Amino acid sequence: MSADAKKNRPDPMTPLDDLIGQYADMPPGNFRYCPGCGLGMAQSALMRAFHRLDLDISQVASAGGSGCYAVMAHYFKSNHVHGSHGRACAVATGMKLANPELTVLTLQGDGDCLAIGGNHFIHAARRNIDITVICFNNFGFGDTGGQLAPTTPKGSVTETSPFGMPEEAFDPCKLAIGAGASFVARSTVAHPVHLTKTLAEAIAWKGFAFVEVLQHCHVLWGRRNGMPEAMDMLNFYREKSAFNTAAISEEECFGSPIYEPDGEQDINFVLGVLHKEQRPELGEELAKLRQRVKGDAS
Amino acid sequence: MAKRAYEISIDETLCRSCAVCWEICAPDVLGFQPPLNKAIVLTQTDCTGCRLCEWLCPDWAIVVRPLASEVAA
């Protein structure tokens, strides 16, 4: 970033209540999340990412489905379509094609994005439509009581795997790259500044951008795995994460997370931008196609 | 150079005692008040302005502002 651009950028230290006035539409009373939930932290980072990009909130549209995160969009002044479970990518694709001026996001949970909506997710990535998919990964289905999901780390205890999850977990970032996403990044709520910058970079990216946000659920996942407080889970993310630097090989960036309480594995999650690739965007390709077909006809 | 001072305001109605702020605060500026264990400011003068409490509060209850007089100085 040039010195001038840095100078003109909105102040990253703007106090929270100023941001709330600009971007959030707060109902009276508390959030509907559990006390200490990572979604409140992720939401704060998302609002700061809007501020960092100086976005006009009326030009932001988001799509969502079912899950704990589903109320998040209702706390923003942005436009929102609450679609059916797992279909947020399909809804967002429609919104972006209908009005390319909009900044389109999908706010999804891991169960919504990768289990029930897995098919929509991989095909949105394949088409490289200019949307940003933000997947809040809390290692399970939080809204329905903490059942196992495709992202539950192997060996961890959930409602429906009381003796430990026997299956291998998805690596959502690896899946996104395999499906053809042009921007893939991972961050956690325990690294709020990094999360804000990553979200801002993903929203500004032209093409399909995927951000996996590791967001704790200490009530349903942490409590069953020896981390009953929000702070325990934040410390878990801080200890088990490493930033994607030159010292980390490409093989180390990906891999299914394995939960071993006394294990030797130091790093489970490599954070940062894991993949970037310029590819033709679907909206532009369709515009070209339209011009070619109509031009031939006339 | 004079140390910059910060004003921390905590909205008690929003705080839900998750304990993230006072556990993450390195200089122990924040503490908790029994019986509800809501966050309170103990020693405001020790605040370094890192804003981790504000960035990590899941209920958006904490706001950290530089004191106006210090900004002008």
Q: Identify the band that residue A263 occupies on the pLDDT scale cut at 50, 70 and 90.
A: low
Q: Do A45 and B55 touch (CB under 8 A)?
A: yes
Angle at the Cα of B40 (from B39 to B44), degrees rounded to 5?
Answer: 135
Angstroms from B62 CA to nearest CA on chain A: 8
Q: What pLDDT, on the 0 to 100 scale, is given for residue B73?
A: 47
Residue ranges making up the domain that contains A59: 31-297
pLDDT per residue as tens digits for the range A157-203: 999 999 988 888 888 999 999 999 999 999 999 999 999 999 999 99
Number of domains forming the structure of chain A: 1
Contact A20 B60 (CB under 8 A): yes
Residues from chain B contacting residue A26 (CB–CB below 8 Å): 60
Give pLDDT tens digits for A25-48.
887 778 888 999 999 999 999 999
Q: Do A36 and B16 touch (CB under 8 A)?
A: yes
Res A244: pLDDT: 81
Q: Which residues of A touch B64 (CB under 8 A)?
A: 15
Task: State the Cα–Cα distance between residues A231 and B54, nearest whole angstrom.
Answer: 15
What is the structure's pLDDT at A30?
81
Q: Fold for B6-72, please state it.
A: Alpha-Beta Plaits (3.30.70)
Q: A10 lies in a domain?
A: no
pTM, two decimal places? 0.92
Interval A67-86: pLDDT, tens? 888 888 889 999 999 989 99
pLDDT of A154 above 70:
yes
Q: Is the CB of residue A45 less than 8 Å away from at least one CB of chain B?
A: yes
CB contact under 8 Å between A40 and B24, yes or no, is: no
Q: pLDDT confidence of A296, banded at 50, 70, 90? A: low
Q: What is the pLDDT of residues A222-237, one digit of tens each?
A: 999 888 999 999 999 9
Q: Is A290 exposed, middle or buried (0-12, 13-18, 19+ CB in 10 A)?
A: exposed
Domain ranges of chain B: 6-72
Q: What is the mean pLDDT of chain B?
A: 87
Rounded CA separation A281/A32 (Å):
37
Distance between CA atoms of A219 and A128, rounded to whole angstroms?
A: 36
Q: Do A41 and B24 touch (CB under 8 A)?
A: no
pLDDT at B69: 62
In a domain, A166, yes or no: yes
Top-confidence range, A212-216, A241-245, B65-69: A212-216
Chain B positions touching A36 (Cβ under 8 A) are 16, 18-20, 58
Rounded Cα gap, residues B28 and B53, in angstroms: 11
Q: Is A231 on the interface with B (CB under 8 A)?
A: yes
| ipTM, two decimals | 0.89
Length, in residues, of chain A: 298
Q: How close A273 comes to chain B (CA, Å)? A: 21
Among A118-127, A131-140, A289-298, B41-50, where is mean pLDDT lowest?
A289-298
Rounded mean pLDDT of chain A? 88
Provide the shortest C-alpha distance from residue B34 to chain A (in Å): 17
Interface test with A, best of B14, B59, B62 (most A CBs within 10 A): B59
Which of A19, A23, A30, A32 to substitute to test the interface with B, most B CBs within 10 Å?
Answer: A30
Residue B2 predicted with pLDDT over 80: no
As a whole number, mean pLDDT of residues B46-69 equals 89
The answer on pLDDT for A298 being more than 60 is no
pLDDT at B57: 92
Buried b or exposed e, range A161-170, using 16+ CB within 10 angstroms: beeebeeebb
**Distance of alpha carbon A8 from alpha carbon B19, whole angstroms:** 36
Where do the H-state alpha helices sit in chain A? 3-8, 16-23, 38-53, 88-98, 110, 118-127, 172-179, 192-204, 230-240, 250-253, 282-297
Query: Is it the case that residue A94 has pLDDT exceeding 80?
Result: yes
Q: Are B58 and A229 inside 8 Å of each other by CB? A: no
- Which is higher by pLDDT, A31 or B71? A31
pLDDT of residue A265: 67
pLDDT, one tens digit per residue, over A97-146 is 999 999 999 999 998 999 999 999 999 999 999 999 999 999 999 889 88
- What is the CATH classification number for the domain harbouring A279? 3.40.50.970
- The verdict on A293 touching B (C-beta cutoff 8 Å) is no
Q: A-chain residues within 8 Å CB-CB of B8?
A: none
Residue B35 in this model has a pLDDT that exceeds 50: yes
User: Residues of A with CB below 8 A from B17's CB?
Assistant: 35
Distance (Å, rounded) from C-alpha A273 to C-alpha A276? 7
